[in-house]
A and B are shown apart, each in its own frame.
Chain A
Amino acid sequence: MTSVLSVPAPDAAPPRRPGSVRFLWLLVVLAALVLLMAASVAIGSRGVGWGDIVAALGGSQETVAEAAVTKRIPRTFLAVLVGAALGLAGAVMQGVTRNPLADPGVLGINMGASLAVVAGLAWFGLFSATSIIVTAIAGAALAAVFVYAVGSLGRGGPTPLKLALAGAATAAALTSFITAIALPRGDIAANVQSWQVGGVGGATGSTITPVLPFLAVGLVISLLSARSLNSLALGDELAAGLGERVALARGLAALGSVLLCGAATAVAGPIWFVGLVVPHLCRLLVGVDHRWLLPFSALAGACLVTASDVLGRIVARPGELDVGIITALIGAPFFIAVVRRQKVREL
């Protein structure tokens, strides 16, 4: 060993990085997303032909079929945006809390955003899109802080199960608050369901545009924290030893994820489990390096929500099921599987 140490070995062969495998998966996920987006435009309660789709993409709304397709385009974009936001937010939250059960839905953060909006609508007469988004983000941040504080009480600090329990209990309580606020109010009770179960139906360009800057800021902050999350994954002490300012890094990453899921909830309502399922699957594909995991989770989240939306239109024809119901059907068994593993270890 001594002889090895004395050689600086600058020409030593660099360790092989499985970059090519990751690149291949990147292409696969991108292709899947494009196909799903096409399916989302083509498939719906009303069957349409390829001619109608082409015409509608060209801006024509002359036939009923073309009009239907025109309505599906913003809906598809919203599904992609919301899915990407929730997938990315979930991956960041799992990294920040080193908790395999972290998810914007499970931790009650989306319900916090929802309740804030419903309360705002009922009591403060919110009407502008931006004020709804800001309220949702504030609600998400409050819920995040509350759940983290409750989950940290007692021995052992914020363990995965304690955080998940605190989050689930908070989410349940917030859901009933939403009902309690909305039921006596005829003016908003009609809409209350959309603040309990999220969906992307009814999206138009004007509902999407105001949320874009918030999603963009959340996206940039989240992606920039990839390297910090890699350090935090080794434990707070080692992260600090590597020159990470642990509290600052954790706070910034949490801010990024709260922006993402607050903004997503403001336009689509609370959607559970996307942020839980997606990062776990992506870890199997590209490993635990957040510089790959975060963008992958965004892409795969977009795929999952788009696919769920399409599925929701097929299974309940001629009606449709909200995305939030489909993702819960997929996510709940997954959640149980993660919990049931021999030990829910910290990430």
Chain B
Amino acid sequence: MTTTHTLVAEELTLAYGERTVIEGLDLAVPAGRITAIVGANASGKSTLLRSMSRLLAPRAGRVLLDGRAVHRMPAKELARTLGLLPQSPIAPEGITVSDLVGRGRHPHQGVFSRWSREDDAAVAAALEATSTTELAERAVDELSGGQRQRVWIAMALAQQTDLLLLDEPTTFLDVSHQIEVLDLLTDLNRVRGTTIVMVLHDLNLAARYADHLVALESGRIHAAGEPGTVLTEDCVRAVFGLESRVIADPISGKPLMLPIGRHHATAPVAAEVRGASEALSPR
């Protein structure tokens, strides 16, 4: 069941008060694929994600889901199609895993409707999919960071949306848990066809896991497309101001970025970088 929902930003301008963060941005999220948004700190990644899930109203332009402006859609209707996992959600003290995951059912419930069998089934399936069934009666406070993140993803799964936006889902996780979470999201995408858009800090993980890579540079899209064409040494220099080498990842064949920095480069590499920057600098 591949989803065919289209999520598009048109000439989007976003601002907090006087400070413009995103200006005139156009972006089309490919349906049924994994999109990763990368960029330097304060380049507008999270702001863009917030606006696509209607948390932030655009100053100009619009975000369209299946041709309808998300900021004008009924809140619950949108929440049945598009889910959001923010960077630091709050787990109420003492809440159990099953209670937390069950709260993902909110958009499917009316004011008076009772908890239904579908709700139970959705929660059970979400717990299974994230391997958290054994944790169901535990308090969320007691879990490790990796377990907790899986529980939050389970909550997002219980929402049963065809699109899922995640703001840095791997932050605060050690490397094995990062891989675990990204593998889980890939399963979700491949098996259910869920369209995934995530902000990621780690360029190499983004290049490996995304079908579509969006590089933001101070509120504008520097490059977007397949990781193989987007993640280049020029791109890293423009977006992060960093000299690097990009090679083929021996594991996945995707691009792998190796930062150079000022200290540990071998003599030939250092000379080459110096030569390049001298050639570039105006006399």
A binds B: yes
A contact residues vs B (CB 8 Å cutoff)? 1-2, 4-6, 8-18, 98, 224, 227, 230-231, 233-235, 237-238, 240-245, 283, 287-289, 345-347
**When chains A and B are docked, how far (Å) is the Cα of A27 from the Cα of B54?**
44
B129: nearest residue on chain A (CB-CB)? A5
B53 lies within 8 A of chain A by Cβ: yes
Provide the main secondary structure of the chain A interface.
loop
**B98 pairs with A98, CB closer than 8 A:** no
Can you list 20 residue pairs at the A/B interface with Cβ under 8 Å? Answer: A1-B187, A5-B191, A9-B125, A11-B121, A12-B128, A15-B127, A16-B136, A230-B106, A231-B103, A234-B91, A234-B92, A235-B86, A235-B88, A237-B86, A241-B84, A242-B107, A242-B159, A243-B79, A289-B99, A347-B93
Contact string, B213-243, partner A, CB cutoff 8 A, digits 1/0?
0000000000000000000000000000000
**B187-A2 in contact (CB<8A):** yes
Q: Is the CB of A287 within 8 A of B95?
A: yes
Within 8 Å CB of A5, what residues of B? 129, 187-188, 191-192
Q: For the complex, would chain B's binding face be called helix, strand, loop or mixed by DSSP majority?
A: helix
Asked if B261 is at the interface of the complex by the 8 Å CB criterion, the answer is no
Q: Which of A8, A241, A242 has the most chain B CB atoms inside 10 A of its CB?
A: A241
* B183 A1 Cβ-Cβ under 8 A: yes
Interface residues of B (CB under 8 A from A): 50, 53-55, 75-80, 83-86, 88-96, 98-100, 102-104, 106-107, 109, 111, 117, 120-121, 123-125, 127-129, 131, 133, 136-137, 159, 183-184, 187-188, 190-192
Min Cβ gap B186→A in Å is: 9
B103 CB to closest chain A CB (Å) equals: 6
The answer on a CB contact under 8 Å between B129 and A241 is: no
A12 partner residues in chain B, CB cutoff 8 A: 121, 124-125, 128
Most buried by B among A8, A98, A237: A237
- The smallest beta-carbon distance between B130 and chain A, in angstroms, is 8
Whether B78 pairs with A243 at a CB distance below 8 angstroms is: yes
In angstroms, Cα B99 to Cα A234, docked, is 12
Taken together as a complex, chains A and B put the C-alpha atoms of A287 and B89 apart, in Å, by 19
Judging by beta carbons under 8 Å apart, are A241 and B55 in contact? yes
Look across to chain B and name the residue whose beta carbon is closest to the beta carbon of A236: B55
- CB proximity of A320 to chain B, nearest CB, Å: 38
B106 A231 Cβ-Cβ under 8 A:
yes
Contact B96 A287, beta carbon cutoff 8 Å: yes
Residues of B within 8 A of A287 (CB): 94-96, 99
Contact of B106 (CB < 8 Å), options: A2, A11, A243? A243
Whether B121 and A9, one on each chain, are in contact in the complex, defined by CB atoms closer than 8 angstroms, is yes
Tell me the bound Cα distance from A238 to B96 in angstroms.
17
The minimal Cβ–Cβ distance linking A223 to chain B, given in whole angstroms, is 10
Pair A242/B124 contact, Cβ less than 8 Å: no
List chain B residues, Cβ under 8 A from A231: 103, 106
Q: Which residues of B sit under 8 angstroms from A288, Cβ to Cβ?
A: 92-95, 99
Bound-state CA distance A184–B53 (Å) is 59
B79 touches which of A2, A15, A237, A242 (Cβ 8 Å): A242
Which residues from chain A contact B117 at a C-beta distance below 8 Å?
A: 14
A15 B120 Cβ-Cβ under 8 A: yes
A17 vs B102: C-alpha distance in the bound complex, in angstroms?
A: 11
Report B-chain residues with C-beta under 8 Å of the C-beta of A1.
129, 131, 183-184, 187
Hey, which chain B residues are within 8 Å of A14, CB to CB? Answer: 117, 120-121, 123-124
A4 x B94 contact (CB < 8 A)? no
Q: CB-CB < 8 A to A241: which residues of B?
A: 53, 55, 79, 83-86
CB neighbours (8 Å) of A13 from chain B are 124
Of listed B54, B78, B93, B184, residue having the most chain A CB within 10 A: B93
Is the CB–CB distance between B121 and A242 below 8 Å? Answer: no
B125–A234 touching, CB < 8 Å: no
With A2-B191, A243-B79 known as contacts, the answer to whether A238 contacts B159 (CB < 8 A) is no
The distance from the CB of B168 to the nearest CB of chain A, in whole angstroms, is: 13
Whether the pair A9, B128 counts as a contact (CB closer than 8 A) is yes
Contact A237 B89 (CB under 8 A): yes
A2 CA to B188 CA, complexed, in Å: 8
| Complex contact B94–A283 (CB within 8 A) | yes
Given A14-B120, A235-B90: A227 in contact with B50 (beta carbons within 8 A)? no
Q: In the bound complex, what is the Cα–Cα distance between A231 and B190 (angstroms)?
A: 29
Known: A15-B120, A15-B127. A244 touches B191 (CB 8 A): no
| Residue in B83, B109, B129 whose Cβ sees the most chain A Cβ within 10 Å | B129
Contacts of A347 in B (CB 8 A): 92-93
Contact indicator A15/B187 (Cβ below 8 Å): no
A14-B117, A240-B54, A241-B53 given; 13 more Cβ-contact pairs under 8 Å: A1-B131, A10-B121, A12-B121, A15-B123, A15-B124, A227-B106, A230-B106, A234-B100, A238-B89, A240-B84, A242-B103, A287-B99, A288-B92
